[in-house]
Amino acid sequence: MSKRAATPKEPPTPVSIEAMIRGLKHPHEAEILAIRALVLAVDPSITEAIRWNAPSFATTEHFATFHLRGATGVQLVLHLGAKPRPDATLRETLDEPTAELTWKSADRAVLYFASLSDVAARSEAVTRVLRTWIAHV
């Protein structure tokens, strides 16, 4: 039996995040794009990639990822990287009621946006939350 030489695989063609979002044909595309712009404006060191089948944002570590499978609105999941950090003290540090965070664990919270006006109305509070969150990554 002869061994076949391994054929080098071509790296996948990079897809822009914006192209990926537009390709979803999501009913809340405008909100997704507005939230994306809001996150990217928080700090020039923020990068984005497709992780967990959704747009995700990072500085030194991924800290926010869209959850786009919900039937209504858009969720932005805030986390401290891929691995759980149950000893995180972020919840005690972060007090921003107008951002309307829903805590899932010590190192994970969700921002839910129902509409484009909701994104606009909470943009300042969300910006403050994201700055604090990034400082803990």
Q: What is the pTM of this model?
A: 0.84
CATH architecture, domain defined by 17-135? Alpha-Beta Complex (3.90)
Give the pLDDT score at 8.
Answer: 52
Could you report the per-residue pLDDT of 75-120, keeping only the tens digit for each?
999 998 777 777 777 888 887 777 789 999 888 999 999 999 999 9
Could you report the per-residue pLDDT of 17-39, keeping only the tens digit for each?
888 888 888 899 999 999 999 99
β-pair partners for 102: 110
Please tell me the distance from the alpha carbon of residue 4 to that of residue 83, in angstroms, as a whole number.
Answer: 38
> Residue holding tokens 């061994």?
3
Please tell me the distance from the alpha carbon of residue 12 to that of residue 112, in angstroms, as a whole number.
Answer: 32
- DSSP 8-state code for residue 61: S
